[in-house]
Amino acid sequence: MLYRIIFTDETDFIGISYKNTRWNKIPDKSIKQINFFLPDGNIFTLHGFEEYNHFIEATNDFYAGKKNNQNVGKTILRFQYLMGRLGDKVVSYRITLYQSDTSKYKTGDITRRVYQFGKEYNGKPTLGWKKGIKNG
Amino acid sequence: MATTLTVKVNTTSNDTTDSGNFITVDLANDKFIWSDGSSAVADGQDTPTSAELNEAAPLSPSGSVYEIPKMFLLDYSDTGQELKEVDLAGSDQGGGGNYRYVLRFEFDAATATEPTLEAWDDSDHDSYADVCLGETGANDSYVKVVRTTAGSPGASWTGTAIAGGSAKSQMNGGAGALVGATTIYYNIRIELPDGSDPFAETPVLTVRFTWN
């Protein structure tokens, strides 16, 4: 399981996997809380935000690589992003999914950052926001 | 479901979107090669040896910049005739010109953010120290790309230098995430600066994208 959403009406919704997140199939109801199931087995909970977003960052490499060409040709899942918006601020939690020998971050590491809404990913907006409930 | 990407390359001289012009790049096994070309490094030839590639390599330019005139797809699966020239690649300073439909990126669904086209030393994505990537100056990269989805680039197009995470190309022209299945086109070239150090390198080109 990738995540479990609990809505304000106490019903729930399940995301399955990184490649089948079902995020765009979430019912149009206010989210009370989301529990994300992390690669290391821990559970990470977000609640109290006006909106939520979630997406996976992946890369495809090509033209061969001299050092780590075993990864060329594969779709590598790099990061999972969990975001919550309050007003014009977005709190972003970036979870590392891929770790190389020289990676600064290890698999499962969480990086928390706060951005202006509309500049939450490399200074650019993101799509996929779902409504929550402030102080829910 | 996850958004998936298919990369194709036009190995004909037809600057159109017809699917028959394009070969799907086997990202695990195929390679791109830039060269001056020779009898052994030519369209329809088999996989060149290192010696053959060296013999066909451009010389470091002296007194002016130099666009490597030929780009090839090394089509791993086409045994005995693996090399396929990418006729339309580059500007008129090399072997190309005002051509739009060279590299084709097919996204089968929407993305959460705008995809980017990048270049790195390898799949670790933590350095761009290769000579051809500008070593430490990302904007000095020899690899130049131009997004041609919306129009032709002009015969003498210069393009955007790509290297690392700061010098990259926004694949939707800065318009943000893809809202559905989308096809994007690029042209690409490698330009050696005056006095370039010699190199034989194999960086990776990277498409970075997301899905909800």
What b/e readout covers A71-105, taking b as 16+ CB neighbours within 10 angstroms?
A: bbbebbebbbbbbbbbeeebbbbbbbbbebeeeeb
Averaged pLDDT, B25-44: 93
Domains in chain B: boundaries: 5-208
Average pLDDT over residues A75-79: 93
Which residues span the domain enclosing A55? 3-131
pLDDT at residue A67, as a whole number: 46
Instruction: Write the pLDDT tens digit of every residue in B93-112.
Output: 999 999 999 999 999 999 99
Pick from B4, B114, B206: CB nearest A61: B206
pLDDT at A70: 62
Average pLDDT over residues A22-46: 94
Residue A109 lies in a domain: yes
The partner residue sitting opposite A124, judged by closest CB among B7, B31, B176, is B176
- The whole model's pTM is what? 0.94
Rg (alpha carbons) of chain A, rounded to whole number: 16
The rounded distance, in Å, linking the Cα atoms of B23 and B11 is 7
Q: What would the mean pLDDT of A114-120 be, rounded to a whole number?
A: 98
Q: Which residues pair with B34 in a beta bridge?
A: B71
Closest to A30 (Cα-Cα) out of A131, A135, A136, A101: A131
Strands B160-161 and B143-147: antiparallel
Q: How confident is the model at residue A65 (pLDDT cuts 50, 70, 90)?
A: very low
In a domain, A136, yes or no: no
**What's the CA gap between B155 and B67, in Å, rounded?**
13
Judge contact between B189 and B112, C-beta under 8 A: no
Q: How many domains does chain A have?
A: 1
List of chain A residues whose C-beta atoms are within 8 Å of the C-beta of residue B29? 73
Select the residue of A59, A69, A104 nearest B207 (Cβ to Cβ). Answer: A59
Spell out the alpha helix ranges (H) of B13-111: 50-55
Specify whether the CB–CB gap between A16 and A2 falls below 8 A: yes
Asked if the C-beta of A104 comes within 8 angstroms of chain B's C-beta atoms, the answer is yes
